[in-house]
A and B are shown apart, each in its own frame.
Chain A
Amino acid sequence: MDEKALIQLAQDGNSEAFRALFEENKRRVYLLAYRYLKSKEDAEDVLQETFIKAFHSLRTYRLEKGISFSTWLYRITINASIDMLRRNNRREKSSLEAEEMNKIPASSHFSNPEHAYQSKEASEKIHLALSKLSPKQRMIFTLRHYQEFNTREIAECMNSSEGSIKRHLFRAMENLKKNLKKFILENDYEMQKS
């Protein structure tokens, strides 16, 4: 059954059809939330929140509006993730938990311990620099840098203009450059040849 038919069935309250839509989209929702929040538990919460919200507001989704279902779902995911980050910031909870920190040197090219240590330190610094961005800047950076969306796609997902997205991206990059400058200078960071 194609997506359009599934959406129409789900709009009529068919939970089987909604389950099929969940199966189709769950990974991308979870992945975005995880890359943004860097916490498995938070990403799972966002995944659930996104699909619950999607089900209850499915009637407002119109196929003829020209927005794909995945883009519409991304919008909900983005808002839920930003809300989650704001809540976490209020609780002053570090989203990069020890469990995730230990998994960071997963990049297999750091085979020796020195490189692994450098990688962990770099990841910590990057996380710290990212945490200093506003939730919106951080989301735009995540979508651009880690999800590899172009600015037009980001604008569509965030229901914003491309110009506004670019301005936020430039500011995010400027902030990252500023916040990582010390680390780069101290470590005389060079392009590591793997």
Chain B
Amino acid sequence: MTMKCKKAKNLAILHLYGELGEKEKAEVSRHLEECRNCSQDFEYTKKIFELLNKNKPAEAPETEWEKSWKKIESSLARKPFRIKRYFISFPRWAYGVVALLLVFLIGIFIGKFAFLPARPSAPQPRLSQNSFQLTLNEHLEDLKPILLDYANYTPSQNKEQKILIDEAIVRGLVIQNILLKRMLAEKNPVASELLDDLDLVLKEIAHGQTNGQQTPSLVQELIRQRGILFKMQILKKT
């Protein structure tokens, strides 16, 4: 059985370069006699060799050796820049371990953000324009009596009087105010501004109710300064 065609083709190249021993040469010759395809390919390879040999590159042009030497000589005095000197050298396997670790971490990072399902964000309360207005009105109605108490507050003989409100109610109003503010943050800047002011006032009231050190005149001042009652009136109309 003769050799395979691929091996014969490769050996034929070495044969043309005169690198085959007698035994291999005989094997190749036998294969070429038996295999028409390989024989044709060998003839074509010979043509390529002929073409290459007839068209060898021109002899290298003369060069100015002295000029080259001068350039070399001028570089010999300078020490080459060696990056290695400035770093601690680690064994080769350490670089491999670091590379693997990096690939692993990058994999986790990509996996986390690209393949895991996104966490459902907290459902945003959605209200239509009308229902929102109604909710806002209700909220303002709830607040109105308390705010009026503070707005109409008159201290007796320069002494702070207490205004008693159920602490739980104030807390409830604070939370209600915060929720409304979140819903309104972008939609209605005017209402959002009012709710900001109310937030301040309600927290001041809640603070006073909790620790028992009430400052109704301060709350009154806040209501007046920020025009809260006026703003409430306007918003209720719209």
Contacts and interface: CB of A to CB of B under 8 A. Distances in A.
Q: Name B's interface SS.
A: helix
A170 interface: yes
B83 to A, nearest CB: 14
Contacts of A18: 76
Nearest to A54: B72
B84 to A, nearest CB: 13
Interface in B19-69: 19, 44-45, 47-48, 50-52, 54-61, 63, 65, 68-69
A131 interface: no
Contacts, number: 97
Given A18-B76, A48-B71, A119 B52 contact: no
Contacts of A150: 17, 19
Interface residues of B, number: 32
B10 interface: yes
B75 interface: yes
A19 B69 contact: yes
Interface in A126-158: 126, 144-146, 150-151
Contacts of A192: 50, 54
B69 A22 contact: yes
Contacts of B172: none
B57 A169 contact: no
A166 B60 contact: no
Contacts of B47: 184, 189, 191
A102 B17 CA distance: 29
18 contacts: A22-B69, A22-B72, A30-B63, A40-B63, A44-B63, A47-B68, A52-B72, A55-B76, A56-B80, A103-B58, A122-B54, A122-B55, A123-B57, A126-B52, A146-B57, A166-B10, A170-B13, A177-B44
Interface of A: 15, 18-19, 22, 26, 30-31, 34-35, 38, 40, 43-44, 47-48, 51-52, 55-56, 100, 103-104, 106-107, 119, 122-123, 126, 144-146, 150-151, 166, 169-170, 173, 176-177, 180-181, 184, 189, 191-192, 194
* The 8 A-B residue pairs with the shortest CB-CB distance in the complex, in nearest-first order: A34-B60, A106-B58, A103-B58, A170-B10, A52-B75, A122-B55, A51-B72, A191-B50
Interface of B: 9-10, 13-14, 17, 19, 44-45, 47-48, 50-52, 54-61, 63, 65, 68-69, 71-73, 75-76, 79-80
